[in-house]
Chain A
């Protein structure tokens, strides 16, 4: 899994690329948490091809941290297989997920 910052001005866009599984989820969580600031953040999920329960745990910890800091986080472009897992576990109701990056930026008034 690679974590990169695609944009960092009034909005931060963090792109994830790879599988969010037992081998990658802890490091991914640490990397994303280190990048979270107070500004609105979009997590580009379009290249995340798989999420396991350990990946869900990391996403939940990111969501809890963001909420405690008052950071708005939107998840953009999540693929259907990952959305399926989000739906089974209720993450779809807990995380703000939108189909595309354009949708995410529109939500943020961009």
Chain B
């Protein structure tokens, strides 16, 4: 928005409005508008049916010119509007009630709006609607609750982060997770918030709402508001949960008898490896909070303790979290100060991510210990001792005793987060307030790994490079300064709110790692004595253990922003915003981007003369941008190489690197009639100049890849949310969403394949198509038909030209007999919640599902064919297994539909009657089961979509061998309010 524009237009608009004033004036009355909190400044006072109006001053006073037959309408954000007949009165004092129901206030960027005034797709989820049970990550609260918000934590690793996507893939090489704004602090980490402390979560789904956040809002914005206290209302709450989890599903393998029958190598014993490395895992969660206030200060203090065991032995975490929110007022209530702080300390046992893989296909006839095998004479005592007595089949590729992996290593992470923010709001006049905000996040992540000198999984137990110790410390700090002013003005027909501000963000990131190997024996844990490493003694710098530090440059985002909200005639809502933002990460001439947005909403009831309880139409358009994840991509940098005693160019650089831009249009209709609420949204968006490391001419740039603005992608989708209430007993609610993304342009015109199946034996087997004109996430390969006499797979002549072309090298040629074998992205995702209230009993059942997606079951692709050389590993043996097949080639055989429908969460709770004189004011108990049942034809451990392949967002749909086993959890909970 440029200054000249404002200078010219604003005065004209204002003059026009003042003219209308003069025409209708008759006599002057005055009065005061108050609320429970005292005088209400900035409230709107309008003569009904006219454009005459004014606003209250700082003390809630107003004067307005009226005639006797007029009706005055008093309104204010968050309060129930009131109409008062003038009828000869000279003074009208009005008390506005807080609007608890219909006119909910929704927090948007740098302010809040009444729900009906919002012109973009915003969903509010309150604590009552959150998912129940032992939530270990706050994002789980929202799983399935918001149409278009996909949250998947495949397998449910307690230490694994979920993949969160709002409206699918919003960017390719940049930040794909939505921006979290916690108590106004942008970019805060959700992991620092205990689920129990959250009051509401607002999800800003479309670009017109997110544009005010600029680049950081490009993947959507999730605004979290934590609970506060209120003055004179002291309360002490406890809630606790105890749960037990057990393994729910894993990929089917042969029993030792089946394995021997199938020609497997008999190692003379019997072991159920999955059983040996898993357990029934206990979880307990305790939460205590106190809230209240004195005079003008209110507070809430909460402390949470979580102890969560993973179902795999020696995995889990302990977490302590505390949060303090204080709100106080000063200077005749003109100044409001909010202070929030949180502290989190978490200790994780991560385990080794390959345990699941080896437990799945380690030979079922192998013993746990060497002493139990008849083959022990094949190995020297020295060799057997070198691996700690655990049986290891020396000389097999990628075959390690899973019990040994679990017991011979320690993989621990300590996370310490300290966050605090101060927000000061000063009400300058009745129409102007200024806000200043400072926020700081400090995060430390200390990783410690210590592997025994006898751990064969390091591959070095029998060499002179035994053992492994690594310390890795990551320090992250984020500082935010923001200043903004908000003007609220009633201009008769128009309620105007203008917000403008400045934002400065600074991020620092520093990582150090010390990695050492080569320890003498297994007598001690060398994490506590790294000086014993022969590497250190020799002071050589072998790169094997990996010792390094790297410090990212300070990255800054500097932005100015402004937004105008107009409520016209109390039925038409207009929003416009602009943000100009600069980043350190881009090319010298490309650092600044401008992101505008505009939205319009209308109360259709009012203008079409309809009589629904609510019928709102809205449309919004917004642009946002994305930045690359890494720094320094626009500058030439050199690596130092000791072998070279000098430098070599480290990578190709791109001085022209610029903003990725995203433009999104959203159209929505909101409808309410009686007990039915429904919202439908349609959106379409175009991402251009997306950031990706793409192929370039190696002869020119010296490297064949560099970060480029590489192409264009469009996504469109529809979202539906509806809820209903039957006799105040049963409240069902459903959210459904669908979207599809198409790659329109890509720097490599013929397209590429990505998502390599990998080792053993399936390198250069890329399975996911990335091609201009095609949808994102298509699994591409040959169609399996049958097995020939030799045990080789036979493929379909898909194009029917009589010439069978199925080589991976021909995957993109015109005559290839490949086809789309499935898509990694679901067509439809839905959540179905049911709340049944029967007196003191409450039943909450939440179903969730996704349809239309497929997964490449990589366990099967590698280990299901009865290949002779695999006969010393277990065979995967699902219902889809073909015993005659003796060669492993990727095909449709391993691509499975993974549609699923599950009872995600079932909670039954009972609220006790508490006598009035009791010290307890409320109490309830609950029983909960997570993953009660899963309906799916998928043979792998977990049918949930895999939206990213180790960070490669262009390769969804691959179920890798490190997927955690899924579990079912039963929990008992107790809530007491004192």
A associates with B = no
| Chain A residues near B (Cβ < 8 Å) | none
